[in-house]
Amino acid sequence: MSGKPVSLADFGLSPEWGYMQHQDPIRSLSSANEAWDEMARNLPKYLMATNFRKRVAELPPFDLGALKSEGEIRRAMLALSYIGMAYQWSEEEAAQVIPSVLAKPWYEVAKLVGRPPILSYATYSIDNWYRLSPSAGVECGNIALLQCFLGGQDEEWFIIIHIDIEKKAGIALHAIELAQKAVVANDADALDIALTQLRDGIKSMYDVLARMPEKCDPYVYFHRVRPYIFGWRNNPALPNGVVYEGVSELGGKGMKYRGETGAQSAIVPALDGVLGIEHERDELREYLMEMREYMPPKHVKFIEAVENGPSVREFVTKLGRGSTSELFNQSVDLVGDFRAMHLEYAGQYIHAQAQKAPGNPSAIGTGGTPFMVYLRKHRDETRQQTVTK
Tell me: the pLDDT tens digits for 148-189? Answer: 999 999 999 999 999 999 999 999 999 999 999 999 999 999
Is residue 143 very low, low, confident or very high in pLDDT (cuts 50, 70, 90)? very high
Is residue 1 very low, low, confident or very high in pLDDT (cuts 50, 70, 90)? very low
Q: Which amino acid makes up residue 68? A: K
- The pairing of beta strand 97-98 with beta strand 242-244: parallel
**Any idea where the domains of the chain sit in the sequence?**
8-383
pTM of the predicted model as reported, rounded to 2 decimal places: 0.94
Give the residue ranges of DSSP H helices in 150-260: 153-184, 188-209, 218-220
Q: What is the pLDDT of residues 53-69, one digit of tens each?
A: 999 999 999 999 999 99
Q: What is the pLDDT of residues 104-142, one digit of tens each?
A: 999 999 999 999 999 999 999 999 999 999 999 999 999
Q: How far apart are CA 91 and CA 89, in angstroms?
A: 6
Q: What is the pLDDT of residues 297-333, one digit of tens each?
A: 999 999 999 999 999 999 999 999 999 999 999 999 9
Is the per-residue pLDDT at 282 higher than 90? Answer: no
What does the angle CA 93 – CA 96 – CA 98 come to, to the nearest 5 degrees?
115
Topology annotation, domain 8-383: Methane Monooxygenase Hydroxylase; Chain G, domain 1 (1.20.58)
- The mean predicted confidence, pLDDT, of the chain is 93
Is residue 354 very low, low, confident or very high in pLDDT (cuts 50, 70, 90)? low
pLDDT of residue 365: 58
Q: How far apart are CA 255 and CA 126, in angstroms?
A: 25
